[in-house]
């Protein structure tokens, strides 16, 4: 987004819910906008992509309240742009398909405010596609028509049913759930075959998507029986019958599943990406972030003295964040890896688990020691067995790190130096807080993943008013699991401390057809 001093509005479509259906342009705008004005149709998965520092203005309905009036939204867009901001107006689906996009532009045009339109994937075609319904098909329908079922000013829907029936194409009704009976009756009275296939598709492209396929005469009753709720699309036409053979979205290994990933952003995306590839919807809400604690002086001293203490020197890392800060500091000191090896000492590296080991590998170091179990205590035990008597051990980790790591080292008479490199800061989620809390209460999130005890703590700080006993927690190790158990969560633990192992556990627990999967 080219920042323009004068301020500008981007009127963009966020698609029907699945974050994978965002356009590249909208995804980039989400990252770069100063202000994002959004409403209820924008999914939690997409909201979780908004940077914490971005200003968000919610203009959708709040429980029990009316939505912000259109004129008010128009004024907000104008006001923010006039402050010189880059304003992203994010709307469900496509902004010009029943999105009132046109109305939102009128004031901007009048005020001479610059704008761009970014089309989005409309629910009118994408929601049927995710239910295995092609809106056109050469054998069944050569046109499709998108129609609003919304009645203006509380009156009846104004539709010319004879013309609609005469079109002989697929009819897609948006905002039509409450007028379903009126529409279906109108179509049959205008001569449509009562056995014409019809479907209602709820929450399409999202984890909670549901569909009911029936006929024009039976859809209303079946939809009620299933308790179909908005947002939903009603689709009428022969193509609806194809869903029985073309359904696919729910058949994916994690199709229909939704997970909340609480990992810090730097390391979270691999887990999220794997789960998405398997068909899940993933809300990425990092609950912690690491912040360097200005360790320059101590770390610098330690590095200067490194190799002078004894003939064996250990560097101990307990997180990828620690590894990154360590290397940043090396670079700032104007040295690189070779700086560690200038003296005669035998330099050894210990890593708490495979994630930290991967971070080390990226910098050209292979750890000599990784304990079997991912925990501070296990690392301390393993290292006290492995280190030569009297070795000097430099531990570089979080402020107030677990003392269990140090006890075995000290008892073994090793010369331990514990250097705090960073502190853990809890993240808040202004965009997600309310939506995710509702989803947790409604059981719409299958599981929350935790990769450290501090992510559990961060989660409980970000979402306080939640019944934790209803939460299924997938934890990376025993320590993490213990913390989750303290809050009464239902816990399960991955076999190993790695993203692959977490994914494997999730597939075991929540996947379908796992027998056909080949996981290493």
Active-site amino acid positions? 39, 61
**In the complex, minimum distance from the CB of residue 45 to ligand SAH, in angstroms, rounded to a whole number:** 12
230 binds ligand SAH (CB under 6 A): yes
Q: Measured between alpha carbons, how far is 205 from 148 in angstroms, rounded to an integer? A: 20
Question: Considering only 85-93, 329-337, 377-385, 409-417, which stretch makes contact with ligand SAH by CB under 6 A?
Answer: 85-93
Which x/- pattern, by CB under 6 A, does the window 270-309 give for ligand SAH? Answer: ----------------------------------------
Q: With b meaning 16 or more CB within 10 Å and e meaning fewer, what string describes 157-190?
A: bebebeebbeeebbbbbbbbbebbebbbebbbee
Beta carbon of residue 89, minimum distance to ligand SAH (angstroms, whole number): 12
Q: Please tell me the distance from the alpha carbon of residue 483 to that of residue 489, in angstroms, as a whole number.
A: 9
Q: Which residues pair with 398 in a beta bridge?
A: 422
> How far is Cα 214 from Cα 193, in angstroms, rounded to an integer?
13
Structure tokens belonging to residue 513: 């057809």
Question: Using an 8 Å Cβ cutoff, are 356 and 323 in contact?
Answer: yes
- Binding span for ligand SAH by CB under 6 A among 80-88, 154-162, 227-235, 385-393: 227-235
In whole angstroms, what separates CA 445 from the centre of its chain?
Answer: 12
The residue within the footprint of ligand SAH, chosen from 127, 239, 278, 395 (CB under 6 A), is 127
Please say which residue, 175 or 323, places its beta carbon nearer to ligand SAH.
175
Does the protein bind ligand SAH through residue 414 (CB under 6 A)?
Answer: no
Whole-angstrom Cα distance, residue 456 to residue 487? 9
Q: Which of residues 345-374 bind ligand SAH (CB under 6 A)?
A: none
CB 98 to ligand SAH: min, Å: 4
Give the number of other Cβ atoms within 10 Å of residue 278's Cβ: 18
Beta carbon nearer to ligand SAH, 144 or 314 = 144
Q: Please give the sequence-ordered ranges of beta strands (E in DSSP) within 77-132, or none if there are none.
A: 86-91, 114-118
Residue bearing tokens 């677990």: 402
Q: Is 17 in the site for ligand SAH (CB under 6 A)?
A: yes
Contact 355, 267 (CB under 8 A): yes
Residue number closest to ligand SAH, CB atom: 93
Q: How many chain residues bind ligand SAH (CB under 6 A)? A: 25
CB of 43 to ligand SAH, least distance (A): 8
Residue among 48, 74, 203, 384 that touches ligand SAH (CB under 6 A): 203
Name which of 281 and 424 has its Cβ closer to ligand SAH.
281
Of 12, 36, 41, 299, the one binding ligand SAH (CB under 6 A) is: 41
Contact of 206 with 170, CB cutoff 8 Å: no
Check binding of 450 to ligand SAH (CB under 6 A).
no
12 CA to centre of own chain? 20
Q: Which residue has the tokens 């009036």?
A: 69
Helix axes 453-462, 478-486, angle to 10 degrees: 30
Per-residue contact string for residues 161-180; x = within reach of ligand SAH by CB under 6 A: -------------xx-----
* Nearer residue to ligand SAH within complex by CB, 126 or 165: 126
Q: Specify the stretch interacting with ligand SAH by CB under 6 A; choose among 202-210, 246-254, 367-375, 396-404.
A: 202-210
Nearer to ligand SAH, 175 or 378 (CB): 175
371: which 2 tokens? Answer: 């304990």
The counts of H helices and E strands in the chain are: 19, 20
Task: Select the span of 119-127, 188-196, 373-381, 444-452 touching ligand SAH (CB under 6 A).
Answer: 119-127
Complex with ligand SAH: residue 205 or 494, whichever CB lies closer: 205
x/- track of binding to ligand SAH for residues 89-108 (CB under 6 A) = --xxxx--xxx---------
Do 315 and 396 contact (CB within 8 A), yes or no? yes
Which stretch in 86-94, 188-196, 290-298, 457-465 sits in contact with ligand SAH by CB under 6 A? 86-94
| Block residue for tokens 């977490």 | 502
Q: Which is nearer to ligand SAH, 249 or 382 (CB)?
A: 249
Q: Quote the tokens at residue 156.
A: 């009846």
Q: Edge-to-edge strand order for the sheet containing 144-148? A: 144-148, 170-174, 232-236, 197-202, 210-215
Binding of residue 255 to ligand SAH (CB under 6 A) = no
Instruction: Report the Cα–Cα distance between both ends of the chain, in Å, rounded.
Output: 41
- Please, what sign has the CA dihedral across residues 58, 429, 42, 258? negative
For ligand SAH, which is the closer residue by CB, 7 or 99?
Answer: 99
Single residue of 22, 29, 108, 233 touching ligand SAH by CB under 6 A: 233
Chain residues binding ligand SAH by CB under 6 A are 16-17, 41, 91-94, 97-99, 122-124, 127, 174-175, 201, 203-206, 230-233
């Amino acid at each position: 987004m080219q920042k323009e001093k004068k301020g500008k509005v981007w009127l963009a479509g966020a698609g029907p819910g699945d974050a994978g259906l965002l356009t590249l342009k909208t995804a980039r705008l989400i990252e770069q906008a100063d202000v994002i004005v959004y409403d209820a149709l924008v999914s939690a998965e997409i909201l979780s992509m908004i940077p914490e520092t971005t200003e968000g203005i919610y203009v959708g309905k709040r429980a029990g309240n009316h939505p912000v009036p259109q004129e008010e939204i128009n004024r907000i867009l104008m006001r923010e742009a006039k402050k010189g901001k880059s304003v992203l107006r994010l709307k469900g689906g496509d902004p010009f398909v029943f999105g009132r996009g046109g109305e939102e532009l009128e004031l901007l045009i009048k005020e001479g405010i610059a704008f761009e339109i970014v089309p989005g994937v409309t629910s009118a075609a994408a929601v049927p596609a995710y239910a295995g319904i092609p809106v056109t098909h050469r054998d069944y329908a050569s046109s499709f028509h998108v129609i609003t079922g919304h009645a203006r000013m509380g009156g009846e829907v104004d539709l010319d049913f004879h013309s609609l029936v005469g079109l002989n194409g697929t009819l897609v009704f948006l905002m039509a759930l409450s007028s379903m009976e009126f529409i279906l009756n109108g179509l049959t009275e205008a001569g449509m075959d009562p056995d014409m296939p019809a479907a209602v598709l709820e929450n399409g492209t999202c984890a909670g998507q549901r569909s009911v396929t029936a006929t024009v005469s039976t859809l209303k009753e079946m939809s009620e029986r299933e308790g179909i709720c908005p947002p939903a699309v009603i689709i009428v036409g022969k193509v609806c019958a194809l869903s029985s053979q073309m359904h696919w979205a729910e058949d994916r290994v994690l199709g229909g599943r939704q997970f909340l990933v609480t990992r810090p952003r730097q390391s979270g995306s691999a887990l999220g990406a794997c789960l998405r590839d398997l068909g899940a919807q993933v809300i990425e809400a990092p609950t912690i972030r690491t912040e360097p604690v200005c360790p320059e002086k101590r770390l610098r001293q330690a590095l200067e003295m490194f190799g002078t203490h004894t003939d064996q020197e250990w560097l101990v890392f307990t997180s990828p964040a620690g590894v990154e800060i360590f290397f940043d500091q090396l670079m700032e000191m104007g040295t690189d890896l070779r700086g560690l090896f200038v003296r005669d000492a035998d330099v050894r590296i210990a890593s708490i688990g495979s994630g930290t080991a991967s971070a080390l590998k990226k910098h050209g170091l292979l750890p000599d020691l990784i304990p079997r179990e991912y925990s501070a205590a296990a690392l301390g035990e393993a290292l006290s067995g492995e280190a030569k008597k009297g070795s000097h051990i430099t531990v570089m980790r979080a402020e107030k790190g677990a003392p269990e790591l140090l006890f075995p080292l000290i008892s073994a008479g090793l010369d331990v130096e514990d250097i705090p490199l960073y502190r853990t800061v809890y993240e808040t989620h202004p965009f997600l807080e309310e939506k995710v809390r509702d989803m947790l209460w409604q059981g719409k999130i299958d599981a929350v993943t935790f990769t450290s005890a501090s992510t559990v703590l961060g989660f409980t700080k970000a979402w306080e008013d939640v019944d934790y006993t209803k939460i299924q927690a997938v934890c990376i190790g025993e320590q993490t699991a213990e913390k989750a158990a303290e809050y009464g969560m239902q816990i399960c633990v991955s076999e190993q401390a790695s993203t692959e192992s977490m994914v494997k556990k999730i597939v075991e627990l929540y996947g379908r057809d796992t027998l056909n999967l080949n996981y290493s």
